[in-house]
Structure 1
């Protein structure tokens, strides 16, 4: 991880600071015409709150909520809704950055406009606070637009998001995503500040709440294999916290997936990729056919399906090596910053082996450390026979 931090430091300088991003969000919401546009869109949807943190860096929300837009009550203005994001206990982070957990209040409610939260970072032994405007116009637009999703019972249908997830990473980093089906989109990155809870306030808490401030409970939490997996505890032992890593995940490149069969075959029009920044994208139908270059974060997992020349269906995926793929993308960008990048997947004649390579018309970098899996798919084979 330390090497990855060193490699990305130059590119991190180009990232927009969270303070500036917050200012831009506020400006965007108040631009002429934006409010008029929002009034023509639906602003109430069925969604559930969720929390996330990186593997190995558990957190717990001490006090926190999402606030809906302000409305007048005749005397002053108050949020038209408040959704609590506290009381869920420790968010373990066993999983991936951006993976959703917690949440109890699924239902139709206003899209939130503000996040107000105080949380504890166990590894850092630090309490953070944030009170910030969210990119409300962007969320309203995305909820209303929706997206095409693949449903096992109904086939490909239009749907929309059903989760708003808040992620907390070391250093007070906060990310917000919309999630639904096979589509996850980052709304923004925000910055919390360190705070100290007074001893008077801690003394007023009940015994259960006071555990959050108990050093013995902290050590017990950090050693709990259900909160931090043993292999992660061992890997992080005596290593510094990789501050800046989660910002490096947000760096985007213009790329798309491409495919090559050593012999005849056909890719199914349903492929997806999970990115290191917590986003997820699935290409279906028209989007699959167009397969255009887009600014995307670096992929962590690429999943797809295909048929061989005899109609046998297969599924497979790549789990990319983090260090290898980050170095490869950065080298590609350094050699030709303006060039689009192809992530080419090659499938061998017997559909038993997969290989991935980055290409930009000038350079080629094989991703040799990727983990892959191939399996036969009965449902795809049957689909081929029907067609």
Structure 2
């Protein structure tokens, strides 16, 4: 008997459990790809929308070879959890599922009072490879993804990410088209018009979101522009260049990284979106652990990356964080091979985390 359960999650993706380990190390090369394509993983579907632009999912289904694999939670719940963030989970049947190759999706964008729909082919081979490769988490352990997130934004923008305890990776980006859905189908129990229904939901937003919408309006194209990538890496200087203890970065395109400072990827340049928010941890000479929270100014960081990327001989960029000798302040500079720009509008909070150190070691 199948069990239906709805789980609304507002916490970090660390609540996802790791998927099964790859046991294909001894598989012959000629059969490895076939085995991988037939393999199933422990993953769950979930939904996402920008914080200030709520939506409601009417229907969302993942398919493989035209057979149902999993459904995105629907039922009229207002979704505004943040771009690329984990939303609710609607789990039906087995937790272990194959990787889908298609997504059929319809939703209502409240700020536009518009329904969007689309039928999208997913890059299944790319998704399979990422599940197989996995990543290194903040505990210096190799793990893999445990969820597929479907994000919906104004203008019919759709992004798909893989999400796990320590990493979120975008795998696809689509454009949906406008459609119509009868109110009796979208909200069978509703006794008011669609306009009244939408207005009621918008009136229910908190004052901060209402003020944002009045000030900014609907910024069409924003979430597609966020996908622009630059070859960059974070660099820590404390007396001299040293390793981070841990690195936590939210990127504007919905991607996310939370990993140990021992992770080799931090030493190389990778095509990454712009940073939105970061938590950086380091140790001083006495082995005390310090942390910092950094809220980047979007306009400043966008201008700096765009400017230096256009003037560099090499396109590699270093985001250099220099901590003073008292661990009480820091300066941030973006640098290429010939020039640099100070990043001065970032809000920074530095703190000592002795209790955290004991828990993490």
State which of 152, 172, 175 in structure 2 corresponds to 1:188. Answer: 172
Q: Provide the alpha-carbon RMSD of the alignment.
A: 2.6
- What is residue 259 of structure 1 aligned with on the other side? 236
- What is residue 40 of structure 1 aligned with on the other side? 35
Q: Residue deviations 1:259-287, cap 9 Å, x none? A: 112x3695444213111001112453653
| CA shift for structure 1 position 224 | 1.2
| CA shift for structure 1 position 219 | 0.9
CA pair 204-123 structure 1, distance change in 2 beyond 3 A: closer
- What is residue 324 of structure 1 aligned with on the other side? 300
Contact preservation (8 Å) 1:307, 1:380: no
CA pair 290-253 structure 1, distance change in 2 beyond 3 A: closer
- What is residue 116 of structure 2 aligned with on the other side? 128
CA pair 288-373 structure 1, distance change in 2 beyond 3 A: farther
Contact preservation (8 Å) 1:267, 1:305: no
Gaps of 5+ in 1: 1-34, 71-77
State which of 203, 213, 216 in structure 2 corresponds to 1:223. Answer: 203
Q: Residue deviations 1:284-323, cap 9 Å, x none? A: 3653486101111111122221112222211112111111
Contact preservation (8 Å) 1:184, 1:278: yes
Does the alignment pair 1:110 with 2:90?
Answer: no
CA pair 104-189 structure 1, distance change in 2 beyond 3 A: same
Greater fraction of residues in helix: 1
- Where in structure 2 are the equivalents of 1:250-289 lying within 5 Å? 250-261=227-238, 263=239, 267-284=243-260, 287-288=263-264
Q: Distance in 1 between matches of 2:265 and 2:152?
A: 36
Does the alignment pair 1:354 with 2:330?
Answer: yes
Q: Which has the higher mean CA deviation after the structures are superposed, 264-273 or 50-59?
A: 264-273
Q: Distance in 2 between matches of 1:289 and 1:87?
A: 37
Q: Distance in 1 between matches of 2:223 and 2:136?
A: 29
Q: Which has the higher mean CA deviation after the structures are superposed, 170-179 or 263-272?
A: 263-272
Does the alignment pair 1:99 with 2:85?
Answer: yes
Contact preservation (8 Å) 1:63, 1:117: yes
Q: Distance in 1 between matches of 2:100 and 2:146?
A: 13
Contact preservation (8 Å) 1:46, 1:162: yes
| CA shift for structure 1 position 99 | 1.0
Q: Distance in 1 between matches of 2:159 and 2:295?
A: 23
Contact preservation (8 Å) 2:76, 2:186: no
Give runs of ≥4 in structure 1 deviating > 4 Å: 203-206, 379-384
Taking structure 2 as the reference length, what is the TM-score of the superposition?
0.83
| CA shift for structure 1 position 121 | 0.5
CA pair 299-383 structure 1, distance change in 2 beyond 3 A: same
CA pair 346-195 structure 1, distance change in 2 beyond 3 A: same
SS in 2 for 1:141: helix
SS in 2 for 1:305: strand
Q: Distance in 2 between matches of 1:209 and 1:45?
A: 38
Does the alignment pair 1:232 with 2:209?
Answer: yes
- What is residue 152 of structure 2 aligned with on the other side? 168
Q: Distance in 2 between matches of 1:370 and 1:204?
A: 47
Q: Residue deviations 1:165-210, cap 9 Å, x none? A: 000011110000000011110011011001123xxx5446764367
Q: Distance in 1 between matches of 2:198 and 2:152?
A: 18
Q: Distance in 1 between matches of 2:301 and 2:154?
A: 23
Gaps of 5+ in 2: 1-29
SS in 1 for 2:224: helix
CA pair 307-57 structure 1, distance change in 2 beyond 3 A: same
